[in-house]
Amino acid sequence: MNNSDSSSCDDSSSEEFDPSDSVSFQHRRKVHLRATALRAAIINSANFSSIATDEHGVIQIFNVGAERMLGYDAAEVIDKITPADISDPLEVVERAKALSVELGTQILPGFEALVFKASRGIEDIYELTYIRKDGSRFPAVVSVTALRDPNEAIIGYLLIGTDNTARKQVEDERMKLDQRLRDQQFYTRSLIEANIDAIMTTDLQGIITDVNRQMEALTGCTRDELIGAPFKGFFTDPERAQASIKLVLAEGKVNNYELTARNWDGNETVVSYNAATFFDRERRLLGVFAAARDVTVSKQLDQVLQERNVDLQIAKAVAEKANLSKSEFLSSMSHELRSPLNAILGFAQLLESESPPPTPSQLESIGRILQAGWHLLNLINEILDLAKIESGKFSLSPEPVSLAEVFLECREMVEGLARKRSIQLEFPRFEGRCFVHADRTRLKQILLNLLSNAIKYNRDEGVVEVSFSKTETDEIRIEVRDTGEGLPREKIEQLFQPFNRLGQEASGEEGTGIGLVVAKQLVEMMGGRIGVQSDVGTGSVFWFELMTGTEPKYARSLEEQEHLDPVPDPLVPQAAVRTLLYVEDNPANLSLVEQLVARRPELRLVTAVTGNLGIELARIHRPELILMDINLPDISGIEALRILRQDPSTSHIPIVAISANAMPHDIARGLKAGFFLYLTKPIKIAEFNSTLDAALEFVGKGTSTAIPVQVPV
């Protein structure tokens, strides 16, 4: 019993241990642990949504990633909904339709559409839009796997999803970029095709790589025929065409390079070829971009234009020659008419002053002769002025001119004419000095013309009113108002036309129809403008505007100038009296020099107001020194100088220029012409006296030839 018991005990305790069973257990245990860890990693992954369902699609596992992406807690979905409930229903419907067509079987929309392929053992990865708990949406890429038991029966499904938002954004941006690139290419192509020039690109060897429709039209070839062909093959001079490509590659561009293109039919077209090199983003030289413009018509027009220009130049030369001939003829005729006219007027005046006096009938005849003679002289003067202006030989001597002095002188000259018709003259009173920048002689000529017209075409016992005012642009406006019949608009438009007297030829009033034309030219030459306002039955106002002049320095009293520029002692107090001739048409300048010379007892002054008179006085008096203005009413001071130099009786006399032309080139021109010295206005007393001293000292040395010397200005 005990044995058996003992035996029994021995049998049970003596059972042997199998080591292989322990290894198998450990292996299974490790596999189980790895699987558990993997499952935990999947469930706890925040980067992927892992959703596991049962075979009916009801969610059984909803990992951390799914919670993060979809906004649901696991407890809110497990055993409650299917993945179809968190997917875009329209996409689910569309997927069901697409799978039904693809697999040839009816698939219902819902969870079945999401897992149908996986249930058939087909790998299935698709894009789907998930709907979050808050209703927002995001694109996801979903991978579906069927879960099976050891007998291959489906026990559920695993749906692993990733947020596809970033990739979709990248794809959208790429699609937009691709679209913009296509748009840019289309835009660029449209620009090229819309260009009126034939455009092409070539590679570095001159092989055409692209063209537009204009190039096709120019060559008569299609785009396919042109691309890959040598550029030079489409021109009459292939070598010149190829040379243009080389020139562009060498210099970077070429402009207006003429070539003649020949199309498929043999027609030729002259083109202006412009080209430049082009590069890629890495600044690698790719080839030449060229544009050729059809200039055939332009060349023809240029040829016609050149021919027309030649014709115009010939016509201009003929016109200028005719104008010059006319001017020369008028000048010559004016000179020739003056000689007999001087005799007529001179002898008529002698007859008028004869003793015993002429009879009344003789006086009347003499008066008619004088009246006609003076009118003819006025006509000659106006024609000569007009000829000089038109030929460009008319010169002015602009300087500050006292308006009060000019008004006074003109009034004295027209008062007799006004009295004959009982016309009242009204001139303004001057409260202070007023100067305009003008040529004094020509200013008087303009004003006298307007005054004489205002008197001649006024009514008897009418009024002529002269006024002046300052404009907004700081110019002086001078007006001459009459109370005549006035002018209608059509006659105003005909004013300032040569020889047009506006129908006054039969009025009995003398006139030439030139005075207003000359006045207008003179005003404009002095930088001003002239015009008229008129009302029929009321009268007319003729006006002109000139620049305001600055009061000249020589307008000061001699006492003031002496204080500024002390007068030195006379050069030779006890010397014999010497004669000084001053040729000047400006009364103010004459008056100043007269007062200055009066203070030098060794000098005697002789004056002349014209160049010709100055020449005659120089021949008569043989002065030791001559002072000469440049701009004189008849001939210029330079012309007078030339005449005096050619006359042996006056060639030795030093001649000093005194002029308002004070620019350096004016002084250089005067000294080159042969003036001994050149003084500029306004006159400075000290400089004036030192100039006289230098000139008289030169004369005292007995030198026979004057040497030009410039006085600093």
Residue-wise pLDDT for 191-209, tens only, equals 777 777 888 899 999 899 9
Judged by DSSP in three states, 156 sits in: strand
Q: What is the pTM of this model?
A: 0.39
The alpha carbon of 558 is separated from its chain's Cα centroid by a whole number of angstroms, namely 52
Whether the Cβ atoms of residue 542 and residue 492 lie closer than 8 Å to each other = no
What is the separation of C-alpha 435 from the centre of its chain, rounded to a whole number of angstroms? 37
CATH architecture group of domain 395-547: 2-Layer Sandwich (3.30)
Angle formed by the axes of helices 637-646 and 664-673, nearest 10°? 20
Query: What is the arithmetic mean of pLDDT over 631-644?
Result: 91
Sorted by where each begins, the domain ranges of the chain are 37-163, 195-294, 309-388, 395-547, 555-700
Say if 37-163 and 195-294 have the same CATH topology. yes
The Cα 248–Cα 251 span in angstroms is: 5
> What's the pLDDT score for residue 61?
92
Of 33-42, 483-492, 582-591, where does mean pLDDT reach its minimum?
A: 33-42
Q: Which residue has the tokens 């449209």?
A: 190
Topology (CATH) of 555-700: Rossmann fold (3.40.50)
279 pLDDT exceeds 60? yes
**100, 106, 110, 113: CA torsion to nearest 10:** -40
What confidence category does residue 11 fall into, taking pLDDT thresholds of 50, 70 and 90?
Answer: very low
Q: Which residue has the tokens 């679209």?
A: 179
Average pLDDT over residues 112-141: 91
First and final C-alpha spacing in the chain: 166
Q: Does residue 233 surpass a pLDDT of 60? A: yes
- CATH no. of 309-388: 1.10.287.130
Exposed/middle/buried for residue 418 (C-beta within 10 Å: 0-12, 13-18, 19+)? buried
Is the pLDDT at 424 greater than 90, yes or no?
yes
Architecture of domain 37-163: 2-Layer Sandwich (3.30)
At residue 438, what is the residue type?
A: A
Instruction: Please name every residue paired with 464 in a beta bridge, in sequence order, or none if there are none.
Output: 425, 482
Q: Are strands 625-628 and 655-659 parallel, antiparallel or unpaired?
A: parallel
Q: Of the candidates 276, 270, 274, 324, which has an alpha carbon nearest to the alpha carbon of residue 297?
A: 270
| DSSP classification of residue 103 | H
Q: Residue 506 has what DSSP assignment?
A: G
- Could you check whether the bond before residue 358 is cis, i.e. omega within 30 degrees of 0? no
Q: Which residue has the higher pLDDT, 298 or 272?
A: 272
For the cut 60, the answer to whether the pLDDT of residue 565 exceeds it is no
What's the mean pLDDT in 449-464? 90
Q: For residue 675, what are the contacts with CB-CB under 8 A and spacing of at least 6?
A: 628, 641, 655, 656, 657, 708
* Residue 76 pLDDT greater than 80, yes or no: yes
Instruction: Give yes or no for a contact between 517 and 497, defined as CB atoms under 8 angstroms apart.
Output: yes
What is the C-alpha separation between 42 and 39, in angstroms, rounded? 5
Does domain 195-294 match CATH 1.20.1250.20? no
